[in-house]
Structure formats: structure tokens, C-alpha cells
Structure 1
Amino acid sequence: MKKVGIFGGTFNPPHNGHLLMANEVLQSLQLAEIWFMPNQIPPHKQHRDIISAEHRFNMLQLAVNGNDAFRVESIELERSGPSFTYDTICLLKERHPDIQFYFIIGADMIEYLPKWYKIDLLQNLVQFVGVKRPNYKTTTQYNVLEVDVPQFDVSSSFIRRRLNEGKNIRYLLPDSVIQYIKEHGLYES
């Protein structure tokens, strides 16, 4: 059975920390691929700072370009309303019954797992993979495989703040994503 990692998020914008995390999980668990899955409306986040799904999808395509093991999965963008992981995984398993899915989450989401929609059913459909982040605990009652990833303490909100302040973001994102942000005037104050 093919083993595929699912890496969901807003990717607002996608950055080198996302790519590093995905690559480490891919190698550590010997997965065939990582599918980056931008969500439409995350149930746990404020929606006001999120740019269009089209821009986030395009930036992700640019970010993963050149890595044959990475691809962008648009399944959550095909639906309206909040993106609940349970619903998405049910659809993915229906479309790809021959794939074993590993759902990648950061330590911030490990702490949040008890609040996830239908978490008790979801944990039977996927293997959760948790990666450590500074200032978060990884202990949980749920079955989460931990993967050590070199710490790259950057977040999309940090990048948006830097862009808003006119500060340099070089080496935080792939150059192609930086170019896209500039060409489309994204995250400007």
C-alpha cells in the first residue's frame, strides 16, 4: 500500500519551514509523497487575514515545484464552508482506497486535537504525524507518531508581519513565492 503524507493548512503564505517539515517527514517515515492541502476556511482560525484560495494554491504550486515527491492537493478548495479534516479524509479514502494516509500536524495542533471535529473517528482513518515546534507540548491521548525536525522558528503570520512592515523576507520563502507575492501585491498594508 502506498504511503502518502497529507500536510494541511492555510499556507498564507507557504514558507521554507513548511517545506523543511514536509521533507523531514517524507524521509523519516519513508513516504512515497507529501500532498500539501490548502484549506478553504480553517475552522480554528480567524478568516480576516487569509488571502484568496487561488493565490495560496498558486504559491504552493511554486513552492513545491522541482520536488517530484511533493504535490498540491486541491480537494478542500473544491468545497465551500469550513474545512473539517474528517470530511476531507473520508473523501480522499474514497478516491484513493489504495493509499495509507499520514496526516502531518505541528505541535500547536497536537494540543488542539481534542477539539477537532469527529476526532475519535478520524484517528481510525489516518496516522497522525506530529512535528515539534518551540513552546508547544507534544503529549496527547491520541496516537501521534513524532518526527524530529530541525527547528526553523518561522510562521506565516511572522512573514505577513514582516511584509506589512516592509522588512526583508529573503531565505524565509522560496524565491518564486517571494516573486509571486511582489507581482500580485499580496500582504501589503
Structure 2
Amino acid sequence: MNELAVRRIGVFGGTFDPPHLGHLVAASEAAFECGLDEVVFVPAGDPWQKAHIKVTDAAARLEMTRLAVDSDPMFRVSTCDIDREGATYAVDTVADVRAEYEGDVDLFFIIGADSLENLHTWHRVEDLVRSVKFIALNRPGHSRREVDTSFGIQVEFIDMPAVDLSSTECRQRVRDGQPVRYLVPDAVAAFIEERGLYRG
């Protein structure tokens, strides 16, 4: 790689409770389709959007995310949202991830295409869209959405392979005594078993 080239970095935030193979496929597909040099997984610290549900403690979610991405040299984990006190906002996440790199980087914020519909409600959205481009993951069978570009958003849609998984489903399977092997990376499945996560 040309040392003078601006690196293209994907920022992939989430609760990752637990991280599953769908997350890894999404990050890999975004990297491939958009020519990213690296994808940074950012586990949420205080996921204020999920205040109505019980979320596994940050240390366990961080460790599971590290275990999930450990085998891919293109992936890494940032603790910036966990280290920050209080509510986590995308605009702060992006600023913190940018500060982790020397020199110029182009940041690409990876989100589900359905999240674009309420993007205009996000905290300091104007600052966010000035600092990143968006990669919107379109699920199979869903049509591409119209995007309000009036506030300057730059977005690239990519169609996702058919991987129908959710963290909610993985937690429920563990609660029901069903296996999650092949739904989450082996190391994550072992960690869930070892720690007795999602049992009740």
C-alpha cells in the first residue's frame, strides 16, 4: 500500500450482545465492496437506545467482540465508547476513532439501511455527516430506501448476502438451551458457555 494514500476505515458500532457471524459477514462485505483498509468494531458503552432492555455488562461484550474479530487482521476493536462515561453518540464515536489514527483517514460509518430513516434525529447529525461517509447495509429482499440528502449525507448502499441472524435470537437460543455454534464464532460460544451468559 502507498504510505501516502489516505486509509479508508470502516466504523462499525453496536451492542454486540453477542457478536454473531452476521456482524462479521456485514463488516467483511462492507470492506470488500467499499475498498476499506480496516473495520473498527466499537462496542457500545451505555447504549441509551436500549435502556428498556437488559444489556450484558460492557466488559463481557468487549471480550466477546475481541474474540469474534481476533482471526481477521482487517478487523480490530476500539474501546472508545466503553471508556467514555455517559450516553454514547455516533458523532463522539467517530471523533474518538479518528483520534486513534495518525495522519489522514477517511471514515465510513457502517449502519443498516433501515437506520437511515431516522438518521435526521441523531445527536449532532450535521457534524456527523460532515465527518464521515455512510455505508448502508441493505438486507436481502428489502428495496433501497430514499435518503434525505438535504443535510449533506454521503451514502453508499451495499446489498448484504442472505444471513438472517440477530443477537436477540442468539440470546434466546441460549436461554432455551439450544446451541449457538455456527451462529457465533466458536470462541464466543465458548465464552458464553464458560460465563453462563444469557441463561435467565
Q: In structure 2, do the counterparts of structure 1 residues 116 and 34 end up closer, same or farther at CA, with 3 Å as the change threshold? A: same
What is the CA deviation profile of residues 95-114 of structure 1, one whole-angstrom value per residue up to 9, with x for unaligned ones? 43521100000123222212
Q: Which residue identity lines up with residue 120 of structure 1 in the other structure? A: E
Larger radius of gyration: 2
Q: 1:114 is matched with which residue?
A: 120
Shift, 1:115, TM fit: 1.4
**Distance (Å, rounded) in 2 between the aligned partners of 1:91 and 1:47:** 27
Retained in 1: the 8 A contact 2:10–2:109? yes
* Structure 2 CA distance for aligned equivalents of residues 33 and 95 of structure 1: 13
Q: Supply the RMSD in Å over aligned alpha carbons.
A: 1.6
Structure 2 CA distance for aligned equivalents of residues 72 and 91 of structure 1:
13
What residue ranges of structure 2 are gaps of 5+ in the alignment?
A: 1-5
Structure 1 length normalisation: TM-score?
0.93
State TM-score, norm by structure 2. 0.88
- State how 1:62-77 maps to structure 2 within 5 Å: 62-77=67-82
* Deviation per residue, 1:6-58 (Å, 9 max, x gap): 00000000000000000011111111100000011123223532111110110
Once the two structures are overlaid, the 10-residue window that deviates more, 4-13 or 111-120, is: 111-120
Question: Which residue does the alignment assign to 1:15?
Answer: 20
- State whether residues 107 and 136 of structure 1, in contact with CA within 8 Å, keep that contact through their aligned partners in structure 2: no
Q: Which amino acid aligns with 1:180?
A: F
Cα–Cα, structure 1 residues 71 and 47, in superposed 2: closer, same or farther, change >3 Å?
Answer: farther
Aligned residues with identical type, % of pairs: 37
Taking the aligned partners of 1:41 and 1:8, their CA distance within structure 2 comes to 12
Please state how far the C-alpha of 1:66 moved relative to its aligned partner.
1.4
Opposite residue 116 of structure 1, the aligned amino acid is W
SS at match of 1:124: helix
C-alpha distance 25-94 of structure 1, shift in aligned 2 (>3 A): same
**Alignment coverage as a number of residue pairs:** 189
Gapped regions of structure 1 (runs ≥ 5): none
Aligned partners of 1:111 and 1:137 also within 8 Å: no
